[in-house]
Structure 1
Amino acid sequence: MRSDLARLIAAQICLHACMTGFRMAAPLMALREGYSPAAVGMLLALFALAPVFMALPAGRYADRRGLKKPVAMAVGVASVGAAIAVAFPVFGVLCVTALTCGAASGLAMIALQRHVGRLANGPTELKQVFSWMAIGPSISNFLGPFAAGVMIDSFGFRAAFLLL
């Protein structure tokens, strides 16, 4: 179970780091392009909008399909969102990317938490596995923005979007 949990946490970190990196890089690019603070605030809010409306349907989907299909879908949605930001780094596309990365991260988190909860045998192990799962977002909240910042400074926004 330990290796399964480690792989699930690694997947969670990768997907969440994509979202957190974009959540930092996209507003920086928008500000550099001269968009207003209100527009940038709306862009940031879009990262949370899709998960708000998707939480219940994503939970139902994960209940029906298990872990692999929702996580594969989340990876696909995040990849498409990142790819369009690389191809067309303009504000409107960054808004779409915010929605897709937020949706992908939310779907993956719901599916992963459902799966990890079912891996545990008993209340003590349940607390342990969720404690380990809680480390993933903490790590990705560091890695995503840090990697995006380094890439922006070194190679520009497109390279940062490509990395994420």
Structure 2
Amino acid sequence: MSGAELARLIAAQVCLHATMAGIRLAAPLLALQQGHGAASVGVLIALFALTQVFLALPAGRYVDRHGLKRPMAMAVTAAFVGALLPLLWPAFPAMCVSALLTGGATGATVIALQRHVGRAAQGTA
């Protein structure tokens, strides 16, 4: 793996994580501003991790079958849609879907990158 390729992968992970973190910060504030209670906001925050919990094993199997590019493209698409959705429709259901999409995209990206970098590593440390 070349240095440029590794830098692109790191930049992609940073951007996807920043998308999820930004939504994770903004969505609860928007929900509170719209008058939703603390329980609703707690559920919203929990949704960021929920997709990762249920997606971990299937995502790992998918990455094993298809390599890096297809899962990364799917994760970028999911994060993009997840970031765009509450912008176009600033309602609580859209924020919940956004949390699921951006959280899942981040988790799937980590799985894909760990597999790819682990297989590309040469030598022992």
TM-score, structure 2 as length reference: 0.96
Per-residue CA deviation, residues 37-70 of structure 1 (Å, 9 max, x unaligned), is: 1110100000000010000000000011100000
* 1:4-153 equivalences in 2 (<5 Å): 4-124=5-125
**Letter of the 1:55 counterpart:** A
1:97-152 CA-partner distances (Å, limit 9, x unpaired): 0001111111111101110111111231xxxxxxxxxxxxxxxxxxxxxxxxxxxx
Secondary structure of residue in 2 paired with 1:15: helix
CA distance in 1, matches of 2:124, 2:37: 49
Question: In structure 1, what is the Cα distance between the partners aligned to 2:123 and 2:32?
Answer: 49
- Aligned-residue offset at 1:4: 1.6
Q: What TM-score, normalized by structure 1, do the two folds share?
A: 0.73
Q: How many residues align?
A: 124
Task: Structure 2: give runs of 5+ residues left out of the alignment.
Answer: none
Task: Name stretches of at least 5 consecutive residues in structure 1 with no aligned partner.
Answer: 125-164
- 2:35 is paired with a residue whose SS is coil
Separation in 1 of the partners of 2:119 and 2:68? 11
Higher alpha-carbon deviation: 24-33 or 79-88: 79-88
Pairwise CA RMSD of aligned residues? 0.8
1: distance between equivalents of 2:124 and 2:115? 15
d(CA) in 1 for partners of 2:84, 2:28: 17
Cα distance in 2 between the residues matched to 1:6 and 1:92 = 36
4+ aligned runs moved over 4 Å, structure 1: none
AA matched with 1:114:
R
Identical-pair percentage: 60
